[in-house]
Structure 1
Amino acid sequence: MLQKEIHQYLETFFSENDCLIEEKGHGHLTVQLTVDMDKELMNRPFYWTYLEKTGGIPNPMKITFITDQEKTPDHIKGEIIHFGAPRLHQIFKATKKISAYIRLYEVPSKANSNRQIPLHPWLLLNIKISYQCDRKMDLLKSIGLNLINGSLYEDFYGLAEALQLQQTIPDYCFTISPIIKAESGMKRIENYLINEVTKEDHPWAKEAVTRWNEDLQLLDHFYEDHSEKPETYEIEKKALQDQYEPIVNIEIINGGLYYLATHPDQMNKSAGAWSSTNKLQGQ
């Protein structure tokens, strides 16, 4: 996840949760939190418990996030945030809690408002793929699945973000009933990601196994004078396995059902949406 993407994600997250963005630049955001968001992110349970008992006036915090130090003026101080930062993962967790699932409908252009327009169902899943050993790397994927024909598109959130969406069906529109059930769609996306991860070359995993074997040799050398290995040997050996064993985890952050009049192939990538070159084969 690039720093620019983190910046955009933070701006969208706080705006969607009614937090006032008081100042923003290319590398920073200053956000006035709401009471609910302060409770969610700022780890002040005693303050809020005391305030509720005494009937005091709430004073939610203001926080500045630095997403790019080089683009942020020196006089602006704040919390540096990057993909591995605990704060960002706290925000991911809050996103999952607050908006785990959403249903939205595209508002077609005014030029088409005088005729009945079909809205096609798409399943959107925002997914985190974690590559773990003694080190860790996370990737975010946004996958859209057409629930009529099973076609898959990556970076689908970029498409959805570029459209005008609302929570109710617009006038002069009707929805097409899904042929593929949401549960089946989730399984298709899961199978696609597993297949993609399986096809990848994983030098990080091979390097982790090499480090693992080197530490196992050191452990065996340390206990080589023992005719019978003590319990501590097995404990330390298991600890090395837990530390180094390569694992790939796939986790759904959130998702939604989107009814769209616009097909991804019709979108202009330069305008913030996605072209047919992003299309994947349905599973």
Structure 2
Amino acid sequence: MTLTPQQIRTQVMDYLEATECSIIEKSPHHVTVKLSPRADRMLTDRPYYWGFVERTGVVPETLSFNFVFDPEKYDEMTNPSSSAPGTAPASNPQDSILSRYFGVAPTAPWLGPGMIRREDIIYGSKRLRQIWTAAQDEGKCLYLFEEPGARQRTTLFSASYEPWLGVCFKVEMTCDLKCEQLNFIGISLASGVIVDHFEKKLTLGSLQLTPRLPENVHIKPYEMSPTVGTERLEAYLTSKLAELDYSWAEEARERLRLELAIIDVYYEEMLKEPDEEKRLAVEEQYSRRHKETVWQYEPKVTVSAITYGLFHLRST
């Protein structure tokens, strides 16, 4: 799996906009941004500075970055003459008489308020993983409302909103191989209706979501609590998983049986060692190898909720 620079740019821009960062400059290949306090806390790893801000109450100075999504095209855009044929290479500013005799002075890192440091954000980079982790941590629990539009705010009657509990479950089927799948399921806390592929309902048409309760709307009363809704979603997902083909698990158990048989044959003579000290060491090694093989080949199905929330959508 990989992501194109454009896909990475879309994800990073979504995070920067969601955390209310200030965009200084942007292009298809980069974005220059001044982080918001919220994003700075998550991305810059400055706990001592933010502790100082909290103790003293001073206005925080957040850092600025130049995030580059396509380094090659960005360099061509910013330095078109450097790639032109026949262009003389730029002279090194430190290539002087003093540097020849006293050495080259190291360049100080470009950090601190007012400074803008370039970072290439490509698939697999540390900063991209950090943004994904921050987005996952902060977006794990949601409480959103459908944006009704300008016309609803001026109409006489308020719009009826239906509360939905949506949970994105990650199902991991593992043995010596691994398969993952996402199941985003929603249940109406007013009617009890369960909708599979709930993400399609949230992205239908031009649906916009907001964390603020819109004007001139009312929420239908809950007929069940979120706890009861969660239990019903878990039961629904369990019934779906029970219908799957688990021949892969039987095949994994057969491979496990063969691997354990090989281990038994390998250690059979070694376990007959007359020297007690050596035999105890072999038994420990045999037990450890046995447990590792069982852990590797034993089929397992693990379900976890990676994101969830209450979504208040217009009744249909």
CA deviation string 1:215-272 (max 9, x = no partner) = 2222112112134882321221111112222222221122221221154xxxxxxxxx
Q: Report how far residue 137 of structure 1 moved.
A: 3.3
Indicate the residue corresponding to 1:127 in structure 2: 169
Structure 2 residues not aligned, in runs of 5+: 75-119, 273-278
Q: Normalized against structure 2, the TM-score is what?
A: 0.63
Q: 2:217 aligns with which of 165, 173, 183?
A: 173
Q: 1:16 aligns with which of 15, 18, 22?
A: 18
Q: Report how far residue 203 of structure 1 moved.
A: 4.8
Paired with 2:2 and 2:222, the residues of 1 have a C-alpha distance of 34
Matches within 5 A, 1:174-213: 174-213=218-257
Q: Report how far residue 146 of structure 1 moved.
A: 0.9
Paired with 1:88 and 1:210, the residues of 2 have a C-alpha distance of 40
Q: 1:95 aligns with which of 117, 132, 135?
A: 135
Greater Cα offset, 245-254 or 150-159 = 150-159
Amino acid at match of 2:63: N
Indicate the residue corresponding to 1:216 in structure 2: 260
Indicate the residue corresponding to 1:254 in structure 2: 307
> What percent identity do the matched residue pairs reach?
25
- Higher-Rg structure is 2
Cα gap change, 1:154 to 1:230, in 2 (>3 Å): same
Q: Secondary structure at the match of 1:75?
A: helix
Paired with 2:211 and 2:177, the residues of 1 have a C-alpha distance of 41
Cα gap change, 1:73 to 1:58, in 2 (>3 Å): closer
Q: Does 1:75 align with 2:109?
A: no
Cα gap change, 1:29 to 1:191, in 2 (>3 Å): farther
Q: Secondary structure at the match of 1:169?
A: coil
Q: 1:142 aligns with which of 177, 184, 194?
A: 184
CA deviation string 1:111-131 (max 9, x = no partner) = 553322211111112232222
Q: Does 1:108 align with 2:148?
A: yes
* CA-atom RMSD in angstroms: 3.8
Q: Secondary structure at the match of 2:145?
A: strand
Cα gap change, 1:145 to 1:51, in 2 (>3 Å): closer
Q: Report how far residue 181 of structure 1 moved.
A: 0.9
Greater Cα offset, 231-240 or 14-23 = 14-23
Q: Secondary structure at the match of 1:208?
A: helix
Q: Report how far residue 186 of structure 1 moved.
A: 1.0
Matches within 5 A, 1:21-60: 23=26, 32=33, 33-34=35-36, 36-41=38-43, 44=45, 49=48, 58-60=62-64
CA deviation string 1:57-107 (max 9, x = no partner) = 653544445xxxxxx6853664215xxx98777555433432332322223
Q: Secondary structure at the match of 1:114?
A: coil
Q: Secondary structure at the match of 1:119?
A: strand
Paired with 1:214 and 1:89, the residues of 2 have a C-alpha distance of 39
Cα gap change, 1:142 to 1:234, in 2 (>3 Å): same
Q: 1:233 aligns with which of 286, 290, 298?
A: 286
8 A contact 1:121–1:259 mirrored in 2: yes
Q: Report how far residue 195 of structure 1 moved.
A: 1.8
Q: Normalized against structure 1, the TM-score is what?
A: 0.69
Greater Cα offset, 85-94 or 13-22 = 85-94
Q: Does 1:155 align with 2:159?
A: no
Q: 1:245 aligns with which of 262, 284, 298?
A: 298
Paired with 1:87 and 1:218, the residues of 2 have a C-alpha distance of 44
Greater Cα offset, 48-57 or 126-135 = 48-57
Paired with 1:31 and 1:205, the residues of 2 have a C-alpha distance of 50
8 A contact 1:11–1:29 mirrored in 2: no
Amino acid at match of 1:238: K
Q: Secondary structure at the match of 1:79?
A: coil
Amino acid at match of 2:244: E
